[in-house]
Amino acid sequence: MKIIVSVKQVPVRDSLLRINGEGTWLDESDLSYEMNEPDAYALEEALQLKEKLGGEVVVICAGPQRVSQTIREALAKGADRAIHVQAEDLGPRDALTTAALLAAVLKAELPDMILTGLQSDDLGYGQTGVILAELLGYAHATIVMEVEPQGNTIRVKRELEDGWFQNVILPLPAVLTVQSGIKKLRYATLMGIKKAKTKEVKTVSASDLVPDTAPSALMERIYLPAHAKHTQILSGDPKDVARQLVEKLRFEARVL
């Protein structure tokens, strides 16, 4: 079974974020990066499926040269090979143009499954995996908690609201967006880190894959939220003041 895992490199969670001079994206000059956490769970699920069924796990990651660090981490954990889609402008791209880049590469791979995290820790669109499935014409499921292959189909367990779950049978090939916490993440071993240096990493240029097209969503400006202090004096009898206070805490401050 061939499983493709799409991973993304994102800023470290506790990074101090600054906006660039143009106000169009982050100032990346002093940022540190790591693998997107939901994608790490997708990789773990793929590696465990490979251990049960055999086959190979291929990692695909789009971004500038710095994403090679994340690619090597995935290879060190057990992925067999990787594809680096060289794209310097991945940050402000919308989900459609990003998915188009991935689809252009993956059509030739003919995978049985494509796994990716539910959403990215930076932009949080939660759309790239679903759009990728549509572009490839594959079945798909989101918020996946369990994956059980059954011949030419797979049974997936999806997390719904209020503690409910849904079991769905999908034909292969399929695209699954994986929920964080699906499995316990593994660490890369010393031997895995050594082996990663010899594994294949294929690099393709984004400009060679799809023609430049206008994005369906355009990020025009990034700015910090305005902070302001407001004082309100509540008047009336104690019961009326208490009622007003509860309403403001519930509907304005949203702390109740």
- Segment 81-105 shows an average pLDDT of 87
> Quick one: pLDDT at residue 212?
59
Question: How would residue 129 be classed by pLDDT, with cut points 50, 70 and 90?
Answer: very high
Instruction: Judge contact between 43 and 95, C-beta under 8 A.
Output: no
Neighbours of 131 (CB within 10 A): 22
Domain-embedded: residue 243: no
> Quick one: pLDDT at residue 29?
82
Domain-embedded: residue 228: no
CATH at residue 130: 3.40.50.620
Q: Is 252 left (phi over 0), alpha (psi -120 to 50) or beta?
A: alpha
E strand segments, 122-235: 139-150, 153-159, 165-171, 174-178, 201-205
Domain-embedded: residue 226: no
- Segment 143-159 shows an average pLDDT of 93
Q: Does residue 15 have a pLDDT over 90? A: no
> Quick one: pLDDT at residue 213?
59
What's the pTM?
Answer: 0.83
Count structural domains, the chain: 1
Q: Which helix (H) or strand (E) holds 60?
A: strand 56-63
Which residue range(s) make up the domain with 116? 2-208
Q: What is the radius of gyration, based on Cα positions, of the chain?
A: 22
